[in-house]
Structure 1
Amino acid sequence: MNRSTRLLINCRIATMVAGGEPYGAIADGAILIRDGRIAWVGARADLPDHEAVETDRLGGAWVTPGLIDCHTHLVFGGDRSGEFEQRLEGATYEEIARAGGGIVSSVKATRAASEEQLFDSAMRRLDGLTATGVTTVEIKSGYGLDHETELKMLRVARRIGAETNVRVRTSYLGLHAVPPEWNADRGGYVDKAVDEILPAAHAEGLVDMVDAYCEPIAFSVEEVARLFDKARDLGLPVKLHADQLSDGGGAALAARYGALSADHIEHTTEAGVRAMAEAGVVAVLLPGAYLMLRETTPPPIQLLRDHGVAMAVATDCNPGTSPLASMTAALNLACVQFRLTPEEALAGATRIAAQALGLADEIGTIEAGKVADLAVWDITRPAELCYWLGKPLLASRYVDGWPEQP
């Protein structure tokens, strides 16, 4: 028997391929996997002749692409539950940040933590994601804001990818906040982040993408443009935290640089949406942060639909504004808060999330030639993935074609 070849049968398949049946569904399907990739997928009645294989009979379960969390801050030290209490007592996110809390408090805890401590705490959060079907995760730096700690965070992210059955993409987020020691010379910090830390991280092979936080409480369009120019020089794609708290022109900036995605975008105008559409920028919706900050201005969902902007969904797992470590909860919140349909939400965590990471040729749909990263679910219809809150739904994951029990 060729153990590199595996056949999945007795299953219903949500291929998430666009343009056909809802969810790209196949009612009685089969998936033939060879050397970690999908060799064939279709109705079981149409299964072609094939070599002897190991066969998994899935008892009528639904199979989707492995879920993709395309925006996380999974590696950090400490937590900010105290700030959670402050916000409930009336303090705003901006007030806490300007008083030395927010991102800066996580910077202090992350700098003090060892690589081993950061790895161990991130792994506990990762458990929540994998238990809800995630097989690929993006992990940002941005809680170091100095040379040593930014690279430490990125090394931990790379280690997670090397030591777990999860595909990891890393983002350098040096322009996340101005560290306290640079408050009197923010321009000097931007110089250091752009001209020293990013090139060093890139030279060590730690960076897949470059990100920044473009807001009045963070960095200006001009400062982010400097970082993105450096990323372009290094051949790295970019993405952007854009227009979360105000319309600061972030979506238009992302479009100008052909970014993979513009994330948050609650305050993006129609002009920004139009620019994203023309540049093919994915909108990454982050309903966890919207919930935790008790925001009242949702992303412009109908404008995104009208202009054909693809919408991804992610957890934004982080210590301050989105302590969310469940991908299915993120899907539910995207439907309930932003009025996405379940099919839109699930596409946002599979096909569109892959696009937001530059991985659309490899993962995100169940198609011949793609990597066999799959999630098997104990559900009767795909909408259940967006319906239940807290109910265990995952039966197993397949990573590179091999099964792993949750």
Structure 2
Amino acid sequence: MLDIVIKNIGSLVTAQGSNPLYGKNQGKVKVYNNICIGIKNGLIEYIGESPNERARKTINANGALVTSGLVDCHTHFVYGGSREDEMYDIVTGHMGYSDIIKAGYGILSTVKDTRKQTENALYKKSIPILDSMIKYGTTTVEGKSGYGLTVKDEIKILNVMKKLNENHKIDIVSTFMGGHVVPEEYKNDREGYVNLICNEMIPKIVELGLAEFCDVFCENCGLNMEESHNILDAARKHNLKLKIHSDQLETSGGSYLAARFKAISAEHLIMADDRCIDIIKKQGVIAVLLPNASFYLGMPYARARYMIEKGIPVAIASDYNPGSSTCFNMQFIMKLAYLIYRLKPEEILNAATINAACAIDRGKEIGTIEVGKKADIIIWNTKKLNFLLYTLDNNLCGIVFKSGEIVYNNTNI
């Protein structure tokens, strides 16, 4: 017996397979009309006309659009404090984002606030954030540390994510990012801080099983190219998968490191030039683009269309954090990408589902609606994919399923 059957699906739109899509296939989807989905033990068991098996529960989609759950593959959602005064400085032109970091504010302000918070306080603060993510359709989220910058505080942040992953409905993929910036106490001993990351933080975090990925902020106001190289090299030796914040504020060399280390993803890429794009393409690196960071900071936007034409798989994410992207609503991120990048709706959908899933090495489990994958499904309060990206001011999620369980319901069903 099936656990749930979703019937009367007007249009089921999904990519297929477990690999990232690129080039002309970035927008390739399969569209099922007037179809049913059967769910059993948290997985998709059946896609087709009315199944022969009975179900414990039947949900009538009433002709609605159905897609896979959204995947937010780049966030910094565990943090203390807030940075609204910094936002004022950016908007009024008093200081740029890079200048704020170099002056000891920005990321370092959040580091100070996060260090003051207990693990329990950070845990409680994160719950409503994750609740809201689900409300807007995110069923899997990646979270980065990087607001502790001591062994103890980085472990604290990653412990919060581990406990949230165990207790919250959303799935969380954890990334260690001690290489965010150099903390104040090491400003005159940068080499000492990099050694701390490589020789103490990474081994301890791997020993505790707290992270799957390692990321580094390769920028002049973060870690330089050599420092980033050393951190990624240490992480690789400890079998962490690699990501890199690359070419956000300047052409920093991060793309070259992403290619050299065959990182799973290079993220931001606002200032990536043609050579950067060519080199990550050759190594199959996924470009994780973060349009709201550009929008929030008043910066240029990454060249999404050019990257797709060059054959790079493009994913999009929220970059939710307290300083440069205070939005965790992936629907808005998709709509912003649609308007700014001028991508087709199908390209946007795949960027927020299968390609985002692949950017956190989850393409075999999530990101598409196919038999055997997790039943992470959204029934939308619209019948058309185009309409999903058309309106800016409302939440179009009707029902959100996570592993076959209804975790949000904004319908009368």
TM-score for the superposition, normalised by structure 2: 0.93
The reply to whether residue 383 of structure 1 matches residue 389 of structure 2 is no
For residue 165 of structure 1, report the CA deviation from its aligned partner: 0.8
* Partners of 1:52 and 1:81 in 2: CA distance: 50
Measured at CA, do residues 78 and 32 of structure 1 come closer, stay the same or move farther in structure 2, by a change above 3 Å? same
The reply to whether residue 356 of structure 1 matches residue 362 of structure 2 is no
The reply to whether residue 26 of structure 1 matches residue 32 of structure 2 is yes
* Partners of 2:274 and 2:198 in 1: CA distance: 31
For residue 82 of structure 1, report the CA deviation from its aligned partner: 0.4
* Partners of 1:325 and 1:390 in 2: CA distance: 15
Kindly report structure 1 stretches of 4+ aligned residues shifted beyond 4 Å: 18-22
The reply to whether residue 301 of structure 1 matches residue 300 of structure 2 is no
How many corresponding residue pairs? 400
* Partners of 1:123 and 1:151 in 2: CA distance: 19
* Partners of 1:244 and 1:354 in 2: CA distance: 22
Contact 1:331 1:385 in 2 (8 A): no
Deviates more, 1:172-181 or 1:156-165: 156-165
| Cα deviation code 1:51-97 (max 9, x no counterpart) | 55532222122211110000000000001000001111211112211
Helix, strand or coil for the counterpart of 1:259? coil
Amino acid across the alignment from 2:63: G
For residue 397 of structure 1, report the CA deviation from its aligned partner: 1.2
Aligned to 2:375: 372
For residue 361 of structure 1, report the CA deviation from its aligned partner: 0.6
* Partners of 2:186 and 2:316 in 1: CA distance: 34
| Superposed counterparts of 1:178-327, under 5 Å | 178-296=182-300, 298-327=301-330
* Partners of 1:20 and 1:278 in 2: CA distance: 17
Deviates more, 1:237-246 or 1:250-259: 250-259
Aligned to 2:97: 93
For residue 317 of structure 1, report the CA deviation from its aligned partner: 0.3
* Partners of 2:382 and 2:262 in 1: CA distance: 38
Helix, strand or coil for the counterpart of 2:113? helix
Contact 2:243 2:263 in 1 (8 A): yes
Contact 1:270 1:303 in 2 (8 A): no
2:75 equivalent among 67, 72, 75:
72
| Superposed counterparts of 1:108-127, under 5 Å | 108-127=112-131
For residue 363 of structure 1, report the CA deviation from its aligned partner: 0.4
Amino acid across the alignment from 2:380: W
* Partners of 2:247 and 2:206 in 1: CA distance: 27
Cα RMSD (Å): 1.7
Aligned to 1:35: 41
* Partners of 2:388 and 2:262 in 1: CA distance: 32
Helix, strand or coil for the counterpart of 2:64? strand
Aligned to 2:395: 392
The reply to whether residue 153 of structure 1 matches residue 157 of structure 2 is yes
* Partners of 1:165 and 1:263 in 2: CA distance: 26
* Partners of 2:63 and 2:124 in 1: CA distance: 36
TM-score for the superposition, normalised by structure 1: 0.95
* Partners of 1:311 and 1:129 in 2: CA distance: 21
* Partners of 1:100 and 1:323 in 2: CA distance: 20
